[in-house]
A and B are shown apart, each in its own frame.
Chain A
Amino acid sequence: MSTVVVLAPIIIANWPVITAAVGAAVGTMGFAMVRKEEAVTQRAATKTREEIQVDNSEILASSTGAEEEIVVEREGVRAIFTRDARGALRVCMEGTGQSKSELRRLGQELIDRVTQQYVYHRVVTELKARNMTIVDEELSEDRTVKIRVRSW
C-alpha cells in the first residue's frame, strides 16, 4: 500500500438525490415511505418527538419552492426528513412508546444509513464518470461497503 486516506463525508445534494438516498437506506431498516396525506393526519396523535440536525449537510434549495419532506414509518415510529431554514438536513423522530433517547438513537442510525447510501452513490458515480472500473464490491457483516477500483 502506498497511501491510506480517511475521509468524513459532507452531504451536498439537491432534494431528489436525498430522496433516493433515504429511499434506499430506510428500506434496509424496515421503514416504509408514508404518503403525504397520511403523514399529516396522523402527526397530531404523536406523544414524543426528537429532532436531529445532520452535521455537515447542505441541501440545495429547490427551484420550484415546493415543500420538501420525506416521511417514513416503522411500527409506530416515524421519521420526517426535511430541509431546515439554514439548508441543512433535519430529521424529526416521532413515536408514542419510546423515550427521547431511544428516538435519538434510532434517528442517528437512520442518518448514518442515509449518509452511507449517499456516499456510496456519489463515489461510484464520480469514479465511473472518470472511466474507473469497479472490479469487486461486497457488504460485510458490520454493513461496511468494500469496493475495489481499477483505472489503469
Chain B
Amino acid sequence: MAKEELEIEISPSGKVTARTIGIKGPRCLDLADLLARIVGHEESRTLTNEYYETEQHVADHLQIHQRQY
C-alpha cells in the first residue's frame, strides 16, 4: 500500500503550505478543510492528478461490474 502522509510547511511568517501525499480521492479534501479550520484563512487550493485517481478506479470498477450482467 502506498504511503499516505500529510506534509506541512510553516514559513518564517507563519504561512502554511500543506500537501497530501498518497491520499487519493476526496479524503484529501477533508484534511485540507481540517487544516484550514486550525490555521485560518485559505489562500489557495490545488488538486493534482492523484485526487482524481479514486474516481477513475471507481469508474473502472463500475464498467467491470456492468459487464458482468
Interface residue ranges, A against B (CB under 8 Å): 1-10, 56, 112-113, 115-116, 118-120, 122-123, 126-127, 130, 132, 135, 142-152
Would you call B48 and A4 a contact (CB within 8 A)?
yes
What total count of A-B pairs have CB within 8 Å? 141
Q: Which residues of B contact A (CB under 8 A)?
A: 4-25, 28-29, 31-32, 34-36, 38-51, 53
30 A/B residue pairs, CB under 8 Å, sorted by A? A2-B25, A2-B28, A2-B48, A2-B49, A3-B28, A3-B32, A3-B48, A4-B48, A5-B17, A5-B32, A5-B35, A5-B45, A6-B44, A7-B39, A7-B41, A8-B39, A9-B15, A10-B39, A10-B40, A10-B41, A56-B40, A116-B14, A120-B10, A122-B38, A130-B34, A144-B11, A148-B8, A149-B5, A149-B8, A150-B4
A145 touches B10 (CB 8 A): yes
A5 to B9, Cβ gap below 8 A? no
Complex Cα distance, B22 from A1, in Å, reads: 6
